[in-house]
Amino acid sequence: MPPRKPGTLLPLEADILIAAVLERRGGQATFHGFGLARVIQEQYGSRSLTAHGTLYKALNRLEDLGLLTSDWEDPAQAVAGRPRRRLYQLTAQGMHIADRVRADRTAGRIPRFAPETA
Amino acid sequence: MRTPPTRRAAHLAIWWARCYTRRLPDPVAERRLGELRSDLHDHITDDQARGTADWRIALSVMSRMARGLPADAVWRSRIRPWTGDVLKSFAAILAAGLALAAVGVLAILYGSGDDSPGLVLIGILLIIGAFIIGVRTGHRRGRSVDHRRNTRHP
């Protein structure tokens, strides 16, 4: 696999940000791993769900970049018999970047989280 | 209630996660395992609610796990590089898995070219079997290495 260009996002990372911002505008402030995989699958009409390793590695990276935050679901609010979910949320910077990513996609550019250096 | 194929697939995915999170800091390993447990539960219950056949859900779980193997390995190596015994265990998994998977892929290719659905099924089963055998090999090796280390440094 070719090395990633500095400041750019992988397609899945861009998909996550776009799905997250659409969910947020639809009134869903937080999201979890499987829910996100399902949204991405339906949004892009994929036959299969995103692989576990790929999905959680991408979420970790977006969190490291400060575009997402996450925390464990409050046990009091979790449904009985279901494992607690890790809930993710877009940060203010994440919202800003997600909008830019959508614009980059529309314009056919590689999505970036940092401006290109000359 | 979950039927055996789904449960076995979920157990295999958790078991693989335990392998690649072995010897990582506890909070990091527990977070990944917790997320995976929740994901598998949501995946299975969601597909069951949609009326998906159990074997198909199991295949979907296995497929998600298998497609994510390289990302799991990269993620693990970024947090704590594979070294010494851990690397040997991982090499054992790859070697055993790849050999049988190659036979499985050949069976699928030959079977689809020859319009032999039975052979395709055998190929798929070989690939799944290859993965399970490879992972078990690596696990046993890892356990014996742990045992030797504990014996040497009680």
ipTM of the predicted structure?
0.89
Which of B37, B42, B71 has its CB closest to that of A53? B71
Domain parsing of chain B, residue ranges? 1-81, 82-154
Cα of B5 vs its chain's centroid, Å = 14
Alpha-carbon torsion (A109, A110, A111, A117), positive or negative? negative
Residue B81 has what pLDDT?
Answer: 72
Question: In chain A, what are the domains?
Answer: 11-73+83-105 (1.10.10.10)
Indicate the pLDDT class of residue B2, thresholds 50, 70 and 90. very low
Residue A70 has what pLDDT?
Answer: 97
Report how many Cβ contacts below 8 Å link chain A to chain B.
77
What is the rounded average pLDDT for all residues in chain B? 77
For A60, residues 6+ apart whose C-beta sits below 8 A from its C-beta are B75
A14: its two tokens: 């861009």
Contact A50 B71 (CB under 8 A): no
Residue B120 has what pLDDT?
Answer: 60
Give which of B42, B43, B69, B78 to mutate to test A binding, by max A Cβ within 10 Å: B42
Name every residue in B having a CB less than 8 A away from some CB of A. 13, 17, 31-32, 34-39, 41-43, 45-46, 60, 63-72, 74-75
Contact B13 A54 (CB under 8 A): no
Encode pLDDT of B117-150 as tens digits. Answer: 555 666 666 667 766 766 666 666 566 555 555 6
Q: Is the pLDDT of residue B96 over 90?
A: no
Average pLDDT over residues B94-112: 59
Residue B36 has what pLDDT?
Answer: 98
Percentage of chain B exceeding pLDDT 90:
43
Q: How far apart are CA A11 and CA A43, in angstroms?
A: 14
A54 by DSSP, 3-state: which? helix
Residue B50 has what pLDDT?
Answer: 95
Encode pLDDT of A54-110 as tens digits. Answer: 999 999 999 999 999 999 998 887 777 899 999 999 999 999 999 999 888 888 888
Of the candidates A9, A44, A16, A56, the one whose C-alpha atom is nearest the C-alpha of residue B64 is A56
Quick check: A49 and A37 in contact, CB under 8 A? Answer: yes
Encode pLDDT of A17-35 as tens digits. Answer: 999 999 998 899 999 999 9
Which residues in chain B are closer than 8 Å to A33, comparing Cβ atoms? 35, 38-39, 42
Average pLDDT over residues B52-68: 92
How far is the alpha carbon of A38 from chain B, nearest alpha carbon, in Å? 9
Q: In which region does residue A50 sit, left (phi positive, over 0), alpha (psi from -120 to 50) or beta (all else)?
A: beta
Q: Which of A2-11, A101-110, B39-48 has the highest mean pLDDT?
A: B39-48
Residue B119 has what pLDDT?
Answer: 56
B25: its two tokens: 């800091």
Residue A34 has what pLDDT?
Answer: 97
